A and B are shown apart, each in its own frame.
Chain A
Amino acid sequence: MTSTATSTSDGIVDEWAIRRMVRTMIPLLAGLSLLQMASGTVLESFEETLLTQPSLLILVPVQIGTAGNLASIMCSRLSTQLHLGTFELSLSNPGVRANTGAVFALAGTVFSLVGVAAWGIGTVLGGSLTLLEVFTISMVSGMLLALLVVVLSLLSVTASYRLGFNPDDTTIPVVTNLCDITGVLILFAVVVVVV
């Protein structure tokens, strides 16, 4: 590969050089993995409960995955808007309004389905939580996560732009990781209250 130089012949920083992409992302990914150990520790401490209540074990990847999806859509769309020059950090920005509204509507739809499905599968796998318990856990933690997705996406796209990073590289890892960690914390906070 002759293309690993960090700048092109005309002196402009090459956003597509391997070395630049690796150097931008490795510290970020490593730092975020360290933060993920916080949610890992929470999971470890709930190991007994998780192994006896499969509904909760099912909710872990689903809540995290869905929050990650929503964050990824929001960040990716806002980043592209930024590249095209139509983004601004304001609640009256049409793009911001549309994306925010869509995230909440999607969350409401998905987390109600999740509540029912996780209860059903968990019951088959030998769990003993009621439908109301699992549904409440899913909806309450899910809508809190949606709020978090919206706030973090807006802030990270803005911050990334101001700090001179390409939001494509930085926002999705930052927001999805923060949502994962907070997601597990929120999930088990709600679990402790409901169960």
Chain B
Amino acid sequence: MYGQDTAKDVYRDALPVIIVSLGAGLFAGTILGSETMRNGIESVPGLLLLLPAFLATRGGVYGSLGARISSGLHQGLIEPRFELDRRLSNAIIASFINGMTVSVFIAVVTFLVLTLLGESGSLVQLVGIMLIAGFLSAVLMLSVLVSVILVGYRRGLDPDNIIGPVVTTLGDVFGVVFLLVGVYGMGLVL
């Protein structure tokens, strides 16, 4: 019965995925510490400033999507099938809107903070980077997250234990990579 799990059960369920996401986090950290990324940090004013907000937003948007789908599955409101029923598709569309809106918001706020700190920054560059990174993240996160939850649920995995690790794993690795893609993309445009 759900809710009667002991600490040991929770630990055993969660450890493998936490370890996998730890590996991914180290991978993301290594990309962040790489020569290319360090050059990006030096050449784009505000990149380090927006990094926590950008990484966290994806946790917020897609983590809550996962939790919502999970509760829907537990309550029997969503069927674990790849049919876009109204609830599932609404949740996905809302997450996309949320993710993109907040990405642009972060770029604007970063520009304002830079201005307040008396540093020079480019609003167009920051918005462009966040649009590219936000869009790529949304496409990847939505498709993988929904698939993993539905497939996992059908195989008897409790979605509550897999959402967080899946979101942070993909979020960290691809967040940092897509940020780099955004920096590179805007470098070509500007």
Contact = CB atoms under 8 A, between A and B. Distances in A.
B107 to A, nearest CB: 10
6 contacts: A43-B49, A98-B9, A99-B7, A113-B22, A168-B70, A169-B67
A170 B95 CA distance: 13
Given A102-B7, A172-B67, A16 B164 contact: no
B146 to A, nearest CB: 15
Interface string A31-43: 0111011011101
Contacts of B71: 79-80, 83, 168
Interface in B56-82: 56-57, 59-61, 63-64, 66-68, 70-72, 74-75, 77
B36 to A, nearest CB: 12
Interface residues of A, number: 83
Interface of B: 2-11, 14-15, 18-19, 21-22, 24-26, 28-30, 32-34, 38, 41-42, 48-53, 55-57, 59-61, 63-64, 66-68, 70-72, 74-75, 77, 86-87, 90-91, 93-95, 97-98, 101-102, 105-106, 109-110, 113, 117, 159-161, 163-165, 167-169, 171-172, 176
B96 to A, nearest CB: 10
A61 B29 contact: yes
Contact of A16 (B22, B24, B90, B106): B90
A139 interface: no
A118 interface: yes
Interface string A133-176: 00000000000000000000000000000000010111111001
B52 to A, nearest CB: 4
Contacts of B42: 51
Contacts of B95: 21
B17 to A, nearest CB: 8
Contact of A69 (B101, B117, B168): B168
Contacts of A60: 29, 32, 51
A186 interface: no
A18 to B, nearest CB: 5
Given A22-B94, A41-B113, A72 B167 contact: yes
Contact of A26 (B11, B102, B110, B163): B102
Contacts of B61: 25, 29, 173
Interface in A57-113: 57-62, 64-66, 68-73, 75-77, 79-81, 83-84, 86-87, 94-95, 97-102, 105-106, 109-110, 113
Contacts of A37: 49, 53, 109-110, 113
B110 A40 contact: yes
A150 B176 CA distance: 27
Contacts of B30: 58, 121, 125
Given A25-B64, A83-B71, 10 more contacts: A40-B52, A40-B113, A58-B26, A62-B25, A70-B18, A72-B164, A76-B164, A98-B9, A105-B11, A172-B63
